[in-house]
Structure formats: C-alpha cells, structure tokens
Amino acid sequence: MLDLKLIRTQPELIRDAVRKRGMELDLDRILELDEQHRNGLYQMEQRRATLNATSKEISELKKAGQEAQDKVEAMRALREEIRELEETIRRAWAELEALLLEVPNIPRPDVPLGALDEGNVVVRKGPEPQKAGFKVLPHWEIGAKLGILNFESAVRIAGERFVSNMGAGAALERALINFMLDLHTQEHGYLEVSPPYLARAQALVGTANLPKFEDVLFKTTTGHYLIPTAEVPLTNLHMGEILEADELPKHYTAYTACFRHEQVGAGQEARGLIRQYQFHKVELMKFTTPETADEELEALVRDAEDIVRRLGLPYRVSMLCTGDITFASCKTYDIEVYFPGMDRWLEVSSCSMYDTFQARRCNTRYRPAPKAKPEFVHTMNGSGLATGRTLASILENFQQADGTITVPEIIRPYMRGMSVIGV
C-alpha cells in the first residue's frame, strides 16, 4: 500500500507509475473520496466543538434558572448531524480503503520501461547451454520413462496439474530442498522457519495477494487460505510489531508447499512441473532499513543465483521491465534456466523488492533510533529456489543419450551417493 499523503500530494507520480505498468486506476475517485473523508472529519470536529460549547451554555443557563429549551433542541439537531456525518465518513473511508488496496507500487527509476517480458533486460549470464548431440526429451517424458514422475496417479488422486514424485524423483526433490536450506542457513546467513501452510485473509492482504489475486488462491471452509508461497507467512512474521534498528536486517528462509489455482492455456506450460496447483519452494525473505535495501536485494539475488551456479545449470539473470513486475513489486530480478527439452528459458526464482508497500499493509515498523518515531521497514523476497522447476531443469540439462540422468555432484551426498538415475 502506498502512503495516502503521497497519493494526495503527488498524483502525477502515481499516474505515471500506473501508465508505465500498462494498468488502469481510477485515481480521480481516490482523490475525491480522500477529500470527502477529510472534509467530513473537519466538519465533525467543528460540530463536536459546537456541541461541547452548547452543552456548557445549557449548564450555565440551568444554573441561573433560565430557559434552555432552544439550546437543547439545537443539541439534538447537532447530534443528528454528527450521526449522519459519521456514516458519510465511514462509507467514504470504506470505499477509499478498498481502492487504496488496488493502487500498485511505484517502479524504481532504474526499472526498464517495457510491456510484459519483451522489455526485460538480461543483466548477467551464467554458463551457456551446451548442445547435447541427441534429442533431449522434455522432463515430463523422461520422468515418466524413468518412473520417477507419475502424472497419471496424481490425476486419479487430485485431478489435472498435480504429480506424484516416485523413488529417485522424490529423493531428488528432497535432496534439493535440503541442499538449498543448508546453503542458505549455513553460508548465506538466513534463519530457517517452518511456518503454517494456512493463512488468514489479513495475512494475504499484507503481502498484496488479496484482494487482487483472490481468483488464484485456494480457500478452505474455515475461511483460511492455502498459502501461494512462503512469502505470505514470512512477511507476516512481524505483523503489527515495532522492531529496533539494531535488529535489522532480518533474513529468513523456509521450505513449504505452495498452492495456486493459476489458469494456463494449452502448450508446454500446461504440461509437466512448470505450472502446477501444488508445488514446492524454498523461500528467502528479508526485512531491512531503507538505507540497506538496495544492497540487500542484490545480495538476495546472489544467494538464489548461488544455487543454480553450484548445480551447474545454464542460467541468466534478468531485470524485469515496468510491464512485467508484479503489482506489489518496485523492482524484480528473475533467474532463468535453459530447458533444452522445451527449448525455453524458464524462471526458477523471482526476487522482488517492495520498499514499504507490504510493511504498510502489515504495519511492520522499526525505530531508527531510541525513542525515535517508528518508520516502516522495507521488505523483499525471492525463491531460493522453486524445487519442482529446478528438478525439471536437472532432468533436461543432465539427461544422457542412454536415457539416464546424471545427478549433479553437489547434491549426491543428499542422495546417499547416487550419481545416476536410470531405469
């Protein structure tokens, strides 16, 4: 959420940000409601002052034994006006508050202009893709042939867009999870968290998943939502708290299942592990001060990048353009891995900075100095990594001509020394 004062005093800044994103926003209605709300509060203050003064006058008249009926009638009329104003103020604020949740974050000045992914800029590259010398099968085909990805059983259990990892397939994903968590906690300095997989609506409002993206969330009969990412519980760890400056930055990591009811048309993304209703991910999350936010984002990207580098995957890092960053993000980097079986670059990590956008929604603040007025923290997060997509990229990039998969050396200790996945 943006500061209402900023919207009020710099509306053209907001219009420009919305235009750069290729979005639409009824900013005039927001400004109109803000004026109604503030004017209503002013009128309320004036009438209450008059009411108090009239009440004192009545008291003085009664003490003097004088008639005060006209003053009593005036008080009744004032009370009715105040009740009407209270309702007008309430309605204006309710609509204004709802519209404020629809205002996107302001992209940072260095975010490239562009529409969708066409304007994204590659900022650095890892190892280049290597030609295999044979036809590389997409991961869903080689996984089925090896018996390590079972889509048919998952369909019988839960329907489309689910998978059952079997044998070495299950072991491989577990190995990736443990490798990622160990690296992030033992070398990158993150504190591991095992958070709830269910969240209340307010927690999803805090991360800006609600109300904008309710159509992709799974909701339970109790009113809870299945988390679409560990970003939700991690960002809300300090909801409503005031942290001290010497506590920041805070670095958290968590492995969770994630649940999203994303709609995908026909094509490669509708197959395999790329767009599933349930997937698994190791998340990275930071709470920082504004002074350290830029540096901390670059470090977070490097921490996620370290995973693909150590696995030996061909990758690149892109800065997303204004038309491709998410609603809540002010700056985003994507780490993409090349999938030779699909002949595509696909994201395995998206690392975003939000400035105070989420912190305002979660009311997470810090005190810059002892006894200083609290200010909102800055938040950022990223996948470190999405384990299903990382597994899929291994099945394609480490595929051999004989139909086996070479296990990346870095995770063999997590698979009891297994070096090859074969039939």
Domain boundaries, the chain: 4-100, 116-421
Antiparallel, parallel or unpaired: β 365-367 and 242-244: parallel
Q: Give the residue, 74 or 189, on which the prediction is more confident.
A: 189
Residue 84 structure tokens? 């009407």
Residue 26 has pLDDT above 90, yes or no: yes
What confidence tier does 378 reach under pLDDT thresholds 50, 70, 90? very high
The radius of gyration computed from the CA coordinates of the chain, to the nearest angstrom, equals 27
Catalytic residues: 260, 275, 347, 350, 389
Average pLDDT over residues 203-225: 96
- 379-407: per-residue pLDDT in tens? 999 999 999 999 999 999 999 999 999 99
Residue 205 structure tokens? 């409002």
Shared fold status for 4-100 and 116-421:
no
- Give long-range contacts, CB 8 A cutoff, 24+ apart: 127-131: 127/312, 127/313, 127/314, 127/315, 128/314, 129/314, 129/338, 129/340, 129/397, 130/314
Q: How far out from the chain centre does Cα 38 lie?
A: 31
- 135-186: per-residue pLDDT in tens? 999 999 999 999 999 999 999 999 999 999 999 999 999 999 999 999 999 9
Q: Where are the beta strands (DSSP E) in 107-260?
A: 121-125, 149-150, 164-165, 191-192, 198-199, 225-226, 242-244, 250-259
Q: Which homologous superfamily is 116-421 in?
A: Bira Bifunctional Protein; Domain 2 (3.30.930.10)
pTM: 0.92
Residues 6+ apart with CB under 8 A from 173: 165, 280, 387, 388, 391
Residue 13 structure tokens? 């800044």
Q: Give the residue, 285 or 65, on which the prediction is more confident.
A: 285
- Burial class, 265, CB count within 10 angstroms (exposed 0-12 / middle 13-18 / buried 19+): exposed
Question: DSSP letters along 355-377, please?
Answer: ETHHHHHHT-EEESSTTPPPEE-
Give the pLDDT confidence score for residue 74 in this predicted structure.
Answer: 82
What confidence tier does 265 reach under pLDDT thresholds 50, 70, 90? low
Query: Distance from first CA to last CA of the chain, Å, rounded?
Result: 52
CATH architecture under which domain 4-100 falls:
Orthogonal Bundle (1.10)
Give the pLDDT confidence score for residue 269 in this predicted structure.
Answer: 67
